């Protein structure tokens, strides 16, 4: 049984930082590209970032480029998202997901090719 569990969310002031973690079990972590998504109340889900199976070629949404960094540790089955210079508009539930392929593919922001999802961790940025 596959489990994907996010952690690290919380309340932070604008300009601050958070580091999200995502641990996966019940699957071969290195067989999957991994992604972060977020959804704010009343908004559609947004693809935040994606990273290939070996940690190469990370991609980011324009809204977070230069502020967020995705990384992974395959030995620990763990995905990370370092979020710096946070803004109130970054407030959302953040989800980790495993792609069905080794690579992110051009469709990654839609999330349609991701097969395992976590329950999410809330990040709230106050102004």
pLDDT one-digit tens code per residue, 70-123: 999 999 999 999 999 999 999 999 999 999 999 999 999 999 999 999 999 999
The DSSP letter of residue 83 is E
Q: How far is CA 53 from CA 45, 67, 76, 120, 121, in A?
A: 23, 22, 13, 21, 23
Tell me how many degrees the CA angle 32-36-42 measures, rounded to the nearest 5. Answer: 140
What pLDDT score was predicted for residue 108?
97
What pLDDT score was predicted for residue 42?
95
- Rg of the chain taking only CA atoms, in angstroms: 13
The DSSP letter of residue 4 is E
């Amino acid at each position: 049984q596959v489990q994907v569990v996010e952690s690290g969310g919380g309340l932070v002031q604008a300009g601050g930082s958070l580091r999200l973690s995502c641990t996966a079990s019940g699957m071969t972590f290195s067989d999957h590209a991994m992604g972060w998504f977020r959804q704010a109340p009343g908004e559609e889900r947004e693809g935040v970032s994606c990273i290939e199976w070996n940690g190469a070629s990370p991609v980011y949404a324009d809204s977070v480029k230069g502020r967020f960094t995705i990384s992974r540790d395959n030995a620990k089955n763990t995905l990370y998202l370092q979020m710096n210079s946070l803004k109130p508009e970054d407030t959302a539930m953040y989800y980790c997901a495993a792609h069905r392929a080794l690579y992110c593919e051009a469709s990654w922001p839609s999330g349609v090719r991701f097969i395992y999802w976590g329950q999410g961790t809330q990040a709230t940025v106050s102004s």
